[in-house]
Structure 1
Amino acid sequence: MSTTQAEAAAAQLIYPSNVLFNSVLQNLKFYSACFAGASAGILGLQNWLGFALFLASTVFTSLCIYTLNTRGRPAKYIQGGMLELVNPGQDNVFTFVLVWTLFYGVVHVYD
């Protein structure tokens, strides 16, 4: 079975170290959402203030990744480039809300 030139070119687009780096970025964004949710819950933020904290933490994490990890070239590591880097992802939003309500309930249960 011979591979065509197009298949070989497509296989070269997937560079294993960059794929591994993408999983590290996803983990970092996940931990950022957990920390932001815990902070919002402990601070007792409600409604839009909690989501504003999540937005601020997402932007801060994206800027840190942009400057420190990708060295200003996110398209080299992430397929969508800067837009995909700033995108929090549905899983991270749900994680934020879950941790936010957990910590809010634990800390402010008798308020």
Structure 2
Amino acid sequence: MSTTPDASQSYYPPNVLHNSSLINVKFISACFAGAVAGILGLQNWLGFALFIFSTLFSAVCMSSINCDHRPNKFVPGGFAELLNPGQDNAFTFLLVWTLFYGIVHVYD
């Protein structure tokens, strides 16, 4: 009989729950940044610069507020994982950006 722990039991459940809330914060941050870029009428690289800035700002806020300046304790990749926007959040940003740009600037 093996004494090594099962891979599914090696995760601490409160940290897994905490990480799911971080994913929600990153998603909402991408949605908000897309709405701001669309309302302001940003085009081309200015909109993507706003997305990069919002990703960096939300990573710093999550690291300082949610993770008490110790993201390695809560996130397996540490601060680098908080900086990763993820494919879903990038596409969400684009979708909301184009939606709000189309709604606000339809008659420009």
TM class by smaller structure: over 0.9
CA distances 1:37-69 after superposition (whole Å, capped 9, x unpaired): 000000000000000000000000000001111
Structure 2 match to 1:110 = 107
Secondary structure of 2:85's match? coil
Structure 2 unaligned segments of length 5 or more: list them: none
Structure 2 match to 1:64 = 61
Q: CA deviation at 1:11?
A: 5.0
Cα RMSD between the aligned structures?
1.2
Alignment of 1:1-111 (within 5 A): 4-7=2-5, 10-111=7-108
> Where does structure 1 differ by over 6 angstroms across 4 or more consecutive aligned residues?
none
- Count of residue pairs brought into register by the alignment: 108
What is the alpha-carbon distance in structure 2 between the residues aligned to residue 109 and residue 11 of structure 1? 50
Structure 1 unaligned segments of length 5 or more: list them: none
Q: CA deviation at 1:5?
A: 2.2
Percent identity between matched residues is 64
Of structures 1 and 2, the larger Rg is shown by 1
What is the alpha-carbon distance in structure 2 between the residues aligned to residue 76 and residue 12 of structure 1? 17
What is the alpha-carbon distance in structure 1 between the residues aligned to residue 67 and residue 102 of structure 2? 38
